[in-house]
Amino acid sequence: MAENVLSTVERRKLLPVRGWLGLALVAVFWPLNWLLSGPRTLWAFFPLWLGYCLVIDAVSYRIYGTSLFSRSWKRYVGLFLVSAPGWWIFEFINFRIQNWQYLGANPLGGPLDEILATLNFSVVIPAIFGAAELFSGGVIRKIKPGLPLKPTRRTTWGFFIGGWVMLALLIAWPQRFFAFAWLSVFFILEPVNVWLKNTSLARWTQRGDWRPVLSLFAGALFTGFFWEMWNYLSFPKWIYTVPGVNFWHIFEMPLLGYFGYLPFALELFALYHLIAGLLKRDRKDYPLLDRDER
C-alpha cells in the first residue's frame, strides 16, 4: 500500500530520475552545441537529443502514469536501434532528390563520420514517438470518431501500388515529385503491416478513430520545431534546397517544408511496426496512442 502511494506521489509531484538526467543533458549540450567553435555537433547532437527523449518520456509518465520507457526499457532501446537504419533510408532517397545538404559534413574523414552520423540518426524515432504519446491525451483524446478508412482488399492494394508509383515518380523526376519521399514509404509499408497482422494505423482508422494519426502529427511537428531550432546555430548543420517552396523560412526550414513532418511520422510508425513484427516483438501499445484502450 505504501509503495503504491509512493509511486503515485512520485509520478504526480516529481519527474522520474530519467527526466532530471534528460534536463541535465539538454542544459549542458544545448549551449555547448551553439557556443563552441569547430565540429561540435558531431559529439553534442546525440546527448542533446537523448536528453530531449528522456524529458518527454518523463513528462508523459508524470501525466499519464505510463510511458515508452516505463512499459518496456528494452523496447525503448529498440526504438534507437530501429531509428538509425530507418533514417538512412531517407538519406539514400535524398541522394536522388537533394532536398537537404550538410554544411561541414565529414570533418573527421573515413568511417568514423558515418558511425557518428548513425548514432545521431538513432534518436529520430524515440523523439517523435515519445512526443506523439505525450500529445495523445488532452484535446486529441476528446476528438470524436470521423470518416472510417477500412483496410479492404481494394484499399490496401491501392495504397501499396500507389506507394510504388510514387517512389518511381520520385526517382524519375525528383524535382517535381520530391514530396513523395514523405508519402511513398508509408503507402508501401502500411498495407504490408495489415497483411502481416502487425500493428497498423488501420486498426484505428477502420472505425473512424483518427486520434493516433493526429497524435503522430502533433508529436512530429513539436519535435520538428526543436530539430530545426537546435540545428540553426549548430555545426555541422543541414540546409534545405526544396524546389518551389524555398521561402518563408523558420530557422533553415521553409515554412511549407514543416508539412513534411506529418506523413514522415506515419512512415516511421509503419517502419517500426514492420520491423517489430518481423522480429516477433510487436505490441499494440507501443507507442500508446489511444488511451481509451488502456
Condensed to tens digits (0 to 9), the pLDDT of residues 213-269 reads: 999 999 999 999 999 999 999 999 999 998 888 889 999 999 999 999 999 999 999
Instruction: Look at the block and give the residue holding cell 534546397.
Output: 241
- Residue at 290 is within a domain: no
Q: What percent of the chain has pLDDT over 70?
A: 93
Model confidence at 209: pLDDT above 90: yes
pLDDT at 8: 53
pLDDT at 283: 79
- Residue at 291 is within a domain: no
pLDDT at 112: 81
Q: What percent of the chain has pLDDT over 90?
A: 80
pLDDT at 286: 75
pLDDT at 12: 52
Using pLDDT thresholds of 50, 70 and 90, give the confidence band for residue 294: very low
Model confidence at 6: pLDDT above 50: no
CB 123 within 8 Å of CB 49: yes
- Residue at 103 is within a domain: yes
Model confidence at 190: pLDDT above 70: yes
Q: Give pLDDT tens digits for 261-277.
A: 999 999 999 999 999 99
- Residue at 225 is within a domain: yes
Model confidence at 172: pLDDT above 80: yes
Residue 273's domain comprises: 2-285
- 62-71, 146-155, 199-208, 274-283: range with lowest mean pLDDT: 274-283
Using pLDDT thresholds of 50, 70 and 90, give the confidence band for residue 38: confident
What does the H/E/C string look like for the chain? CHHHHHHHHHHHHCCCHHHHHHHHHHHHHHHHHHHCCCCCHHHHHHHHHHHHHHHHHHHHHHHHCCCHHHHCHHHHHHHHHHHHHHHHHHHHHHHHHCCEEEECCCCCCCHHHHHHHHHHHCCHHHHHHHHHHHHCCHHHHCCCCCCCCCCCHHHHHHHHHHHHHHHHHHHHCHHHHHHHHHCHHHHHHHHHHHHCCCCCCHHHHCCCCCHHHHHHHHHHHHHHHHHHHHHHCCCCEEEECCCCCCCCEECCEEHHHHHHHHHHHHHHHHHHHHHHHHCCCCCCCCCCCCHHHC
Q: Give pLDDT tens digits for 87-134.
A: 999 999 999 999 999 988 776 666 788 888 899 999 999 999 999 999
pTM, two decimal places: 0.92
pLDDT at 33: 94
DSSP 100-160: EEEET--SS-SHHHHHHHHHHHTTHHHHHHHHHHHHTSHHHHTPPP-------HHHHHHHH
Model confidence at 41: pLDDT above 80: yes
Number of domains within the chain: 1
- Residue at 294 is within a domain: no
- Residue at 198 is within a domain: yes
Kindly report the average pLDDT of the chain as a whole number: 91
Model confidence at 19: pLDDT above 90: yes
Pairing of strands 253-254, 249-250: antiparallel
- Residue at 6 is within a domain: yes
pLDDT at 105: 75
- Residue at 293 is within a domain: no
